[in-house]
Amino acid sequence: MAKKKLFDKLPSCYAGKILRIDLTTKTTSIIPTEKYANDYIGGRALANRLYWDEVKDGNVPALSAENTLIYMNGPMSGTGLPYSGRAVMTGVSAKNIPEQYTHSSCGGYFGTVLKWAGYDGFIITGKADELTYVLIDDDKVSFESAEELRGAYVQATQEKLFEKYGRRSSSLVIGPAGENCCRHASIVTHADSAFAKPGFGAVWGYKNLKAVVARGTGTIAPADVDAVMRIHDWEDNPPKGKPETGDYLNTIEFAEFSGPTEPYRQVFNSCNPACNHRCMITRCGLTNPLDPNGDKVSMVGKCLDEQICIMRADNFFAFGAYIDFPRQNKPGNYKWMFPQVADPEDPLLDVYMQQYDGNLLNMWGPDFNFGTMINWCCNEYGLDKWDIGFWLFTWIYQCQEEGLFDDGKVDFGRPIDFEDPQFAKHILDCMTYRQGPMGDLLAEGVGRMIRALGKEKYGDTLRHGIFTRDGEERLTPVSWEASWGEPSHWQGRGFQGCEKNIWASMNLVNMIGARDEAGGGHSHDSYENYLTYKDDPCHSPLLIKATIHNNRRSEMKDSLVLCEYKDPDPGRPNLEVEFIKAAIGVDMTKEEIDHIADRGKLLERAILMRDHGRTRDMEVAEVYPWMTYEDPWGQTVTWDEWNDFVDLYYQAYNWDLETGWPTKEAWEDVGLDDIADFFEKEGKIPVENPNYVRKANPFDR
Amino acid sequence: MKNDHIIQYPEEYSHCIGCSSCELFCSLVHDGVTGPCRGGIKLELGKLSTLMNKVYVCEHCEDHPCYEACPKKDRAMCVDENGTVYINEEECIGCGLCARACKLTPSRITMDKKNRKAHKCDLCRTREDGPVCIKRCPVVCLGLASDPLPYDPEKLGGAK
Ligand code: SF4
Ligand code: SF4
Ligand code: SF4
Q: Is A585 on the interface with B (CB under 8 A)?
A: no
Beta-carbon contacts of residue A567 (< 8 Å; ≥ 6 apart): A520, A553, A556, A557, A560, A575, A576
- Domain A17-215 homologous superfamily, CATH: Aldehyde ferredoxin oxidoreductase, N-terminal domain (3.60.9.10)
Quick one: how far is CA A651 from the chain centroid? 27
Q: Which residues of B touch A220 (CB under 8 A)?
A: 33-35
Kindly report the number of other CB atoms within 10 A of residue A67's CB atom: 25
Q: Is B149 on the interface with A (CB under 8 A)?
A: no
pLDDT of residue A597: 97
In chain A, residues 112-151 whose CB comes closer than 8 Å to chain B: 112-113, 116
Cα–Cα distance measured from residue A321 to residue A306, given in angstroms and rounded to the nearest whole number:
13
Least confident of A12-21, A486-495, A685-694: A486-495
Report the nearest-CA residue for atom 7 of ligand 1.
Answer: B58
pLDDT of residue A528: 79
* Binding-site residues, ligand 2, Cβ < 6 A: B 6, 26, 39-41, 57, 121-124, 131-133
CB B38 to CB A219 under 8 A? yes
Under the banding of pLDDT at 50, 70 and 90, the label for residue A272 is: confident
Q: Amino acid identity, residue A237?
A: N
**Structural domain count, chain B:** 1
Please give, rounded to a whole number of angstroms, the shortest distance from the CA of B2 to a CA of chain A: 27
Mean residue pLDDT across chain A: 87
In chain B, residues 113-142 whose CB comes closer than 8 Å to chain A: 113-114, 136, 138-141
In chain B, residues 67-86 whose CB comes closer than 8 Å to chain A: none
Least confident of A73-77, A267-271, A442-446, B65-69: A267-271
Burial A386-413 (b: 16+ CB within 10 A, else e): bbbbbbbbbbbbbbbbbebbeeeebebe
Q: What secondary structure does DSSP assign to A597-647, as a single string?
A: HHHHHHHHHHHHHHHH---HHHHHHHHTGGGGS--TTS----HHHHHHHHH
Residue B30 lies in a domain: yes
Least confident of A24-38, A137-151, A491-505: A491-505
Query: What is the distance in A from the centroid of ligand 3 to the CA of A197?
Result: 30
Helix (H), strand (E), coil (C) string for A646-673 = HHHHHHHHCECCCCCCECHHHHHHCCCH
pLDDT of residue A249: 38
pLDDT of residue A244: 46
Q: Which atom of ligand 3 is nearest to the CA of B142?
A: 7
Long-range contact pairs involving B85-90 (C-beta distance under 8 Å, separation at least 24)? B85/B3, B85/B58, B85/B60, B85/B61, B85/B120, B85/B122, B86/B120, B86/B121, B86/B122, B86/B123, B86/B125, B87/B118, B87/B119, B87/B120, B87/B122, B89/B117, B89/B119
Please give, rounded to a whole number of angstroms, the shortest distance from the CA of B66 to a CA of chain A: 23
Question: Residue A471 pLDDT more than 90?
Answer: no
Distances (CA, A) of A228 to A120, A278, A582: 20, 18, 6
Under the banding of pLDDT at 50, 70 and 90, the label for residue A302 is: low
Query: What is the distance in A from the centroid of ligand 2 to the CA of A277?
Result: 22
In sequence order, the β-bridge partners of residue B41 are B57
Average pLDDT over residues A5-18: 97
Q: Is B53 on the interface with A (CB under 8 A)?
A: no
- Among residues A166, A236, A235, A198, the alpha carbon closest in space to that of A71 is found at A198
CB B139 to CB A278 under 8 A? yes
Q: Out of A383-397, A430-444, A461-475, give the one with best mean pLDDT.
A: A430-444
Q: List the CATH number of the domain containing B58.
A: 3.30.70.20
pLDDT of residue A472: 80
pLDDT of residue A78: 95
Domain hosting residue B105, numbered range: 6-148
Confirm or reject: Cβ of B22 under 6 Å from ligand 3. yes
Q: Kindly identify which residue of chain B lies nearest to residue A231, measuring between CA atoms.
A: B136
CB A167 to CB B45 under 8 A? yes
pLDDT of residue A239: 60
Q: Which residue from B17, B29, B48 is facing A225, i.e. has the nearest CB? A: B29
Cα–Cα distance measured from residue A382 to residue A428, given in angstroms and rounded to the nearest whole number:
11
Confirm or reject: Cβ of B14 under 6 Å from ligand 3. no
Question: Residue A425 pLDDT more than 70?
Answer: yes
Confirm or reject: Cβ of B17 under 6 Å from ligand 3. yes
With pLDDT > 90 as the criterion, what percentage of chain A qualifies? 67
End-to-end alpha carbon distance in chain A: 46
What dotted CATH number matches A504-509+527-627+639-682?
1.10.599.10
Q: Which residues of A touch B140 (CB under 8 A)?
A: 328
pLDDT of residue A578: 96
Residue in A269, A280, A302, A379 to test binding to B, most B beta-carbons within 10 Å? A269
Q: What is the pLDDT of residues A630-642, one digit of tens each?
A: 887 789 999 999 9
pLDDT of residue A329: 57
In A190-227, at which residue ranges do the beta strands (DSSP E only) sit?
193-195, 209-215
Better-predicted residue by pLDDT, A605 or A348 = A605
Q: Kindly identify which residue of chain B lies nearest to residue A232, measuring between CA atoms.
A: B136
Q: Is A216 on the interface with B (CB under 8 A)?
A: yes
Cα–Cα distance measured from residue A520 to residue B117, given in angstroms and rounded to the nearest whole number:
42
Residue B15 lies in a domain: yes
CB B114 to CB A217 under 8 A? yes
Please give, rounded to a whole number of angstroms, the shortest distance from the CA of A226 to a CA of chain B: 9
Domain residue spans in chain A?
Answer: 17-215, 504-509+527-627+639-682
Residue B156 lies in a domain: no
Q: Out of A124-133, A308-317, A493-502, give the one with best mean pLDDT.
A: A124-133
Question: Residue A643 pLDDT more than 90?
Answer: yes
Phi, psi of B15 (to 5 degrees): -95, 120
Under the banding of pLDDT at 50, 70 and 90, the label for residue A240 is: low
Q: Which atom of ligand 2 is nearest to the CA of B127?
A: 2
Cα–Cα distance measured from residue A645 to residue A623, given in angstroms and rounded to the nearest whole number:
13
Average pLDDT over residues A483-494: 88
Residue B159 lies in a domain: no
Cα–Cα distance measured from residue A612 to residue A604, given in angstroms and rounded to the nearest whole number:
11
Q: Which residues of A touch B13 (CB under 8 A)?
A: 326-328
Q: What secondary structure does DSSP assign to A478-493, as a single string?
A: SS-EEETTEE-SSSSS
Question: Residue A416 pLDDT more than 80?
Answer: yes
Q: Is A159 on the interface with B (CB under 8 A)?
A: yes
Q: What is the pLDDT of residues A519-555, one digit of tens each?
A: 544 677 777 788 899 899 999 999 999 999 989 989 9
**Residue to mutate (ligand 1; options B56, B64, B107, B122; most atoms within 8 A of CB):** B64
Quick one: which ligand is closest to B121's CA?
2
pLDDT of residue A198: 96
